[in-house]
């Protein structure tokens, strides 16, 4: 059976200038340049943490030594020398998360404790039923994060990002499992896994085939 292996790293220790200096030479030159040209400490930590997680997992868990990235026309990265191996990254707050799979995949994480412009965004992109369910839930902010990460993981799995209009999507749930609709059509090749093991965060993973999931805490 196909697999999707997800790893997460707490990146809060990377918020200091010293920590960034200690670790920055361990990421690719392209990512290093992005980090050095970014002003916000939170963004620097997120970019560095995601790069470290990707590099370490691919080397230590998958035995890769020739890691070279390329992107498609929509900006989705892939492994140039290993086209059969797919990955996707996300970060939010103190968490960087990575999914590696032998099928197309997308992952998204959102901090449920961070204030979100939930009502405005949901009113623009969610269906009426989704919006009503969110507002009536015990925790509207977490409900918003759930619907948002499902959408994000789906468009990232498709490899087209926001070229897929989020307002064309709708999540329908049967026994807690999401079916994604795009332009009112159910997407039979989109399979979701939701993770709530990280306190204060919602994670959604989308693959284009059924997979066996695993979830690992990564430490540098």
Q: What is the pLDDT of residue 154?
A: 98
pLDDT at residue number 193: 98
pLDDT in tens, the chain (220 residues): 999 999 999 999 999 999 999 999 999 888 999 999 998 989 999 999 999 999 999 999 999 999 999 999 999 999 999 999 999 999 999 999 999 999 999 999 999 987 667 678 888 899 999 999 998 999 989 999 999 999 999 999 999 988 999 999 999 999 999 999 999 999 999 999 999 999 999 999 999 999 999 999 999 8
CATH code at position 29: 3.90.470.20
The predicted pLDDT at position 117 comes to 72
pLDDT for position 79: 97
Q: Which domain holds residue 32?
A: 3-217
Tell me, what's the pLDDT at 159?
96
The predicted structure's pLDDT at residue 48: 97
How confident is the model at residue 119, as a pLDDT?
73
Is residue 79 within 8 Å of residue 91, measured between CB atoms?
Answer: no
Domain total for the chain?
1
pLDDT score of 162: 84
């Amino acid at each position: 059976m196909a697999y999707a292996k997800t790893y997460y790293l707490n990146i809060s220790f990377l918020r200091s200038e010293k920590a960034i200096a200690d670790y920055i030479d361990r990421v690719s030159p392209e990512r290093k340049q992005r980090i050095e040209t970014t002003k916000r400490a939170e963004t620097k930590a997120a970019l560095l943490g995601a790069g470290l997680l990707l590099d370490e997992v691919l080397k230590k868990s998958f035995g890769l030594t020739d890691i070279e990235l390329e992107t498609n026309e929509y900006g989705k990265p892939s492994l140039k020398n290993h086209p059969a191996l797919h990955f996707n990254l996300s970060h939010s707050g103190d968490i960087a998360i990575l999914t590696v799979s032998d099928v197309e995949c997308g992952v998204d994480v959102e901090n449920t404790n961070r204030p979100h412009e939930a009502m405005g965004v949901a009113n623009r992109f969610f269906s009426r039923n989704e919006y009503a369910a969110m507002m009536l839930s015990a925790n509207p902010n977490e409900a918003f994060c759930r619907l948002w990460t499902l959408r994000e993981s789906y468009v990232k799995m498709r490899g087209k990002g926001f070229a897929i209009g989020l307002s064309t999507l709708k999540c329908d749930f049967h026994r807690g499992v999401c079916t994604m609709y795009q332009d009112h059509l159910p997407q039979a090749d989109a399979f979701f896994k939701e993770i709530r093991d990280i306190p204060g965060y919602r994670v959604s993973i989308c693959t284009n085939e059924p997979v066996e999931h695993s979830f690992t805490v990564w430490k540098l």
